[in-house]
Structure 1
Amino acid sequence: MNAHSRTLLTVICEAALEKRLLADLETLGAPGWTISDARGRGHRGVRSAGWDTEGNIRLEIICNRELAERIAEHLQVRYYDHFAMVCYLAQVEVLRGERF
């Protein structure tokens, strides 16, 4: 097995931001992403996934560390003050390194 080290940036935020975030990721050069619905409770209370724009989404991007940090910084500056959003980074091993 030939594994390659990459960074996983996970973003959990309001579903209403999805279109804006996808435009940002395209502009910032993200190689790809995965989006799923998310439910939970946090600083801003309980969030359900009952309505398209009321729930939360979980956005995951696997890329190099530099790009992950640049995307996270952009999200922090642009969205943290006005929207429910959490970002975290984790080191991951991928098998097809050329794709990330």
Structure 2
Amino acid sequence: MTPTTARHPKTLLVIVAEAAIEKALVRDAQRLGAQGWTVGEVRGAGAEGVREGAWEADRTIELKLICEPAVADAIADHVLATYAPHYAVAMYLSDVRVLRPQRY
């Protein structure tokens, strides 16, 4: 019989934004309490049009952060106030459960 591993509630914050602000987003997320992150390049379309990533200024990233709800809210509020008025930014939050809470 396998023991049941405890699940711990956290919040997943996903930020889809212009690649030009990736370093600033990561720096700010760390400063606001995020312990880790995952970044990948993505393509898509939305209110700002199609972003195919064919040239440097058209690149888009997806930044994923799993953290405490208060940290996720603080990061999201900061991104909305600081970057969303000037850059293409989309965000969403989801409740998640993690197996190794010390990593988040």
CA distance in 2, matches of 1:27, 1:53: 26
Q: Does the alignment pair 1:3 with 2:7?
A: yes
CA shift for structure 1 position 29: 1.9
CA distance in 2, matches of 1:57, 1:66: 23
Give the letter for the 2:7 counterpart. A
Q: How many residues align?
A: 100
Question: What residue ranges of structure 2 are gaps of 5+ in the alignment?
Answer: none
Give the letter for the 2:91 counterpart. C
Comparing 70-79 and 47-56, the one that deviates more: 47-56
CA distance in 2, matches of 1:16, 1:58: 12
CA shift for structure 1 position 52: 3.9
Instruction: Tell me which structure has the larger Cα radius of gyration.
Output: 2
CA shift for structure 1 position 53: 3.9
Q: Hey, what does 1:67 align to over in structure 2?
A: 71
Q: Does the alignment pair 1:56 with 2:63?
A: no
Q: Hey, what does 2:91 align to over in structure 1?
A: 87
CA shift for structure 1 position 80: 1.0
Q: Does the alignment pair 1:18 with 2:22?
A: yes
Identity level (%) = 42
CA distance in 2, matches of 1:45, 1:52: 16
CA shift for structure 1 position 50: 2.6
Question: What residue ranges of structure 1 are gaps of 5+ in the alignment?
Answer: none
The CA RMSD over aligned residues, in Å, is 1.1
Q: Hey, what does 2:44 align to over in structure 1?
A: 40
TM-score, normalised on structure 1?
0.94
> 1:46-84: per-residue Cα shift (whole Å, max 9, x none)?
001233442110000000100000000000000111110
